[in-house]
Every structure is written in C-alpha cells, then in structure tokens.
Structure 1
C-alpha cells in the first residue's frame, strides 16, 4: 500500500526589514557627512593649484616680454592726444593694464591682433576704433569685454555683468599710494589729458612710486635692486560679487574729512565703516561711499585703474579697499585678496609663485606712507613702514629679508 506524504515548504522571505534599511541609510549618511568636506577640500586644492599655475604662466609672460623689449610691460600705457575730452574714444587715455601688452605672451595672439590694429566699430560705420583700442570703459569694443581664462582664478565665482572682462591678477605698485595713479606724467584718468609740470610730477613719482611697476612709466628688471626673488611683481585679487565685501568694493573719497588714507592706511577701519558683526563687509548706509556697481575689484582686465588692476603692500592680505579719491582709478590702499582660505598668491620677480598668509608681518598699519614731503620714517628713501609685507613690495629700498615667507 502506497503512502502519501505531505511536505510543507517554508517560504523564505527576501529583502531587508525596515529597521535594517534605516540602519544602512544612517551609515551612508554618516559616511557622506565625513567624505563631503574632504571632497570639497580636494576640489578647492585643485582650484588653488590651477590658480597658482595661471600666475606661473603670467610670471613667465612678464619675463618673455622683458626678453623681447628689455623692459616690463607698462602699467598705464597706451595712446593719448593732449586735450582729448573724456568719451571721445580717439585714444585710450594711457589707461591700459599690463595684461594688454602681455596678451601675445600668454596665448592670446588673436586678441592682440584685434587690439593693435584698427577695427570697425560696432555700428559698422567707416570710422574704426583707434589702434590699441578706445577708452577702457567702452562696452561696445569687443576685446575689452572678452573674458580671458588665464586671467581668472577657478576659486573665484564672479562672472558676467556688471563687469566687463574680469581679472583675478594685478600689478604691484609698491607700498605708497601717493601718485600711484599719475606717475611721472601726472595724468589723472577722470580729467582732460594734459601734460604739464613734468619735472614736479617726476620728483613726486621718484619718491613715492616704489613698486616693480609705475603708472605711465617704464621699468626694467635691473631697477629691482632689492633682488628679483625678494620683490613682488604680481598679486591675486578677488573680484566683486555685489555683496559689499570690503576686499572687492572700494570705499571712496575718505580724505574729505581731513586725515587721508595716505596718512592713516586703516582709516576706513577706525572710522567705523566696517560692520563689527560681519567684519568682511561694509556697514549699510552712507558712509561709506562705495564705488558704483560696475566699478568693482577686477572688473576691467584692460584698465590700469587702481581698483581694477593694482595692488599695494600696505595693509596685509584680504584687508579693506580704502581710497582717498572719489574714483576707483584714483589713489587707495588695495592689497591682495582671494577666495582661498587664509591668504593669497603673489608672483616674485624671479617668477616664483608664493602663497602669503593674512598673518604676514606688516609693521605699523597706522604709519603714513613714504612720499616726497614725508618726514622721519616717511621721508623719501626710507625702508618700508609696513614690515616684511611692505618690504616685499618695494623694488629698491634696501630692506634685508632674513627669514622665509
């Protein structure tokens, strides 16, 4: 007799329980929380390296330019016609930055050909733009509104209007703001061009213009008597984002109340223009009298104006932009700045790129600048009042740098 057996098969459940899923999700969340800062730090390190490489290329461009022409590119070079009114665009009013002449040396030959040769204006009329371009605030001129990748730091998010063509790098003009916008020609960009009293202007510029570059004048490597490896020629700058950042939006016309920025470099700080609760930003209201929205730091790569393409070694890195004059092209304390953590890059005269921290020794930031009528430690020929930082910005003041930086 055949027996039949009933076999019960127990069903095996596949998958995770709710508790197991929650545990796995929690573990993944913890891992992401731990790894994300590391990934972000790695990305910033890569951006910072790319920024350093840009500066290295620009430093080599300066050396190649010097080899070709036996001088450094002129800060405030270009064309002028005596008595030419503002806005005529018959001349660029000797307002070209060093980057214009350097364009063929950092792989922008095509752009240089447009600038150096007359080209038709935007309306297509028979009247062309002048050789070496019109005034640097002319938005209808193509080269002036072109963004050049070599002049941009990947860590800086600024882009587009109201800027024209941005730059994150600028020329070093030394440790004094006196005559930094005029040089030996005495040219002021917001007035009609005239050349007069050249002997007086030359005296003033010789005493105060102590950097590797001098407005409207030529300099050579042989003029850097302190040594190329001890003298800054280029520096990094952050561009403005429209957020009242003290590093990127100049406070103007601060000499109107009596004491000047030249006499007191941190004038804007001790006058209370910086927000005490948010010390990287200006207080709201007036003062401070801030520059127009289209006149932010680094907003015109082709312009030599102080806010656009100059640095000084007076206030330490990432400090405020404080101007004596009422224009962003006038005189002011304009230090290096960046979107990196804790400092900014500079290029030395020998082409070396260094990252200088905000805490670099900067002497007495309350001390007046060196200039022709200065006395005591502000007399012509004095060592820089601004410590190691100031000494690195002067080309021939005979300071001895006996420590690494």
Structure 2
C-alpha cells in the first residue's frame, strides 16, 4: 500500500501548462513578432535600395564607357527622322556596355523598333535584372500584338525640366513653363562637356514604378522605345500630381492608382513623367559624374528642376 501510494502521489504532482498560461505565452510571442517585423522589413528594404543604387551606378558607368568610345552619350531617341514614338532609345545603344552584345546585334537599327521585322525580338521582350529595381515587384511585358510589345523596366534617363521635348522650342512648354534640355533629348546626342551646370549638378538616371496594370504602348518604363524611356523634373519625386503621357497606364499599384492624365495629342515628346519608387521617402538618382544618391521627395522644386537641366545656369542650393 505504501509503495502504491507513493507512485500515485508522484503522478498527480506532475503539472503541465494551463490554457491561460499557453495563451499568455502565445500573446507574448505575437507582441515580439509585431515589434520585430518592422525592423526586418526596414532591413530588407535597405538591402533592396542598396542593390538599386549599385545597379544605377553600373548604368552610369555604361554611359561613361559609351561616351569614352563614341565621344557622346546616346541620343534620347535615335534613327528616326520624324521624331516618332517608334524610335530606338538610349537603352538599345548601351546594350554592348552592359554585357548584352547578343541583344544589340539582334537589332536592326535601320527599321522602327515597333512594328518592324524583328517580331518579338529578344531585345524588346527580355526583362533584364540589371534594369529592375528589387523594390518594385511588377515585372511585366506589355499586352498587345507581338510586333509592338516591350518589357517594362525601372531605370530611365532625364529629358530635362519640363517635358521630353525640353530644350526643343517651341514644343518644350508645359503650362507656360519653357523647359531646358537635360542630358538626353529626342534625335540628338549630348556630350558630357555640354553639362555646363556641372556633372555633379546634372541628373543622368532615376527610376519609375512599372505599372501593375497597363494598356499597350506604355509611356512608363518602356525603356527600349523613346516614348517610355525617360523622366523629367517638372514634378518632384513621388509627386502627388498625375503624369501626363500620350498613353496612360491603368494602375501603378498600391494606393497610387492610375496617376496619369492623357494629353490631347499623340506627341510622345510632350510626356511629363515624374520619377517614382517604392522606396519610402524618395528615389535613387544617378548624377552625370557617375555618383548615385537618394533624392528625398521633399526636395525644393526649383532645385529639382535645376538638376534636370544640363546648361540652365542655375545656382543650386544644397540638395
């Protein structure tokens, strides 16, 4: 009896977690996860932004290598005498300098990039990782017919401080504001020596958000084609105001919606496109000296427009 009683006592003395204790532990773990999650997300975004910075540095280096080889930067558009929206953009001409010789050799630069003989060409349809910001998860090709589709990328060049025609009077005005050319203009090439405002004060690249939904012939991120290959500094980074383009996307994603107003004519040079990114607070930009920095969306508009011009003669404050 005595031994049996001792065994029974040992058994009943064992004790597990009560339901209340278990719920308290789960609640504490949930609180800890809630506290840690923002820090983890911030660390991941910092890593993505750093990758985006490095990719823009490589593109700026490619532009400098093109300049060293030919004495000029690529044209904002090129090889189309009517300044049509089917011109090849700067993107096609730096392919050899970003180790994409096969894509470059596939192009027939004597025909229009859209609607030409190179149906579904690799150079038009391929999404290049080096042209995609990891913070933007909309990696898409356009809808539409095979010989008009293009893939959409995040990195675009600066056409000036008004519209894509900045510096080409009389088509360079937006709401009465006469724009000055950036480092890229339609059907013309600039040299680094043309940046009389100073290479460190003149924008080369920035980024755009590729649409989560878009119509065909996008004017945003269509880097192979001139009408979607640029931005201007008429609007500040991540501007609340809509872009104005000849072909509007349907939705940029997130809470942004369409963020686009179609202008009345079909002149792609009249496009006004603000740089945008999913980086909190601003966008990455590459300057013409090859440096890359983070540009806050609170930048002074006058300063920002001055950075978009190559020879505007502005005296810029710190930015």
Q: TM-score range by the shorter chain?
A: 0.7 to 0.9
Is contact 2:156–2:230 with CA below 8 Å preserved after alignment? Answer: yes
The correspondence for 1:315, drawn from 225, 235, 252, is 235
Q: Which has the larger share of helix?
A: 2
Decide whether the 8 Å contact of 2:238 with 2:277 is kept in 1.
Answer: yes
Distance 1:326 1:220, change over 3 A: same
Q: Does 1:227 align with 2:213?
A: no
Runs of 5+ unmatched residues, structure 2: 144-149, 172-177, 246-262
1:218 to 189, 194, 199: 189
Shift of 1:179: 3.3
Distance 1:38 1:317, change over 3 A: same
Q: How much does 1:239 deviate? A: 1.1
8 Å contact 1:237–1:297 — kept in the other structure? no
SS in 1 for 2:103: helix
Give the structure 2 partner of residue 303 of structure 1.
225
Q: What TM-score, normalized by structure 2, do the two folds share?
A: 0.79
Match of 1:149 among 118, 129, 133: 129
- Structure 1: state its 5+ residue gaps: 83-91, 116-129, 185-199, 202-206, 243-291, 363-386
What's the TM-score, normalizing by structure 1?
A: 0.63
Residues 178 and 208 in structure 1, CA contact (< 8 A), matched pair in contact too: no
Partner of 1:238: 209
Q: Does 1:76 align with 2:56?
A: no
Q: What RMSD over aligned residues (CA atoms) do the two structures have, in Å? A: 2.7
Q: How many residues align?
A: 281
1:100 correspondence with 2:20: no
TM-superposed deviation, 1:108: 1.4
Aligned 8 A contact 1:314 1:333 in 2: yes
Matches within 5 A, 1:126-165: 130-131=108-109, 134-136=112-114, 140-162=120-142, 164-165=150-151
1:43-58 aligned at under 5 Å gives the runs 43-58=44-59
Q: Distance in 1 between matches of 2:2 and 2:179?
A: 109
Distance, in Å, in 2 between the alignment partners of 1:299 and 1:330 is 15
Q: Secondary structure at the match of 1:54?
A: helix
Once the two structures are TM-superposed, the CA of residue 94 in structure 1 deviates from its matched residue by 6.3
Does structure 2 retain, via aligned residues, the 8 Å contact 1:178–1:209?
no
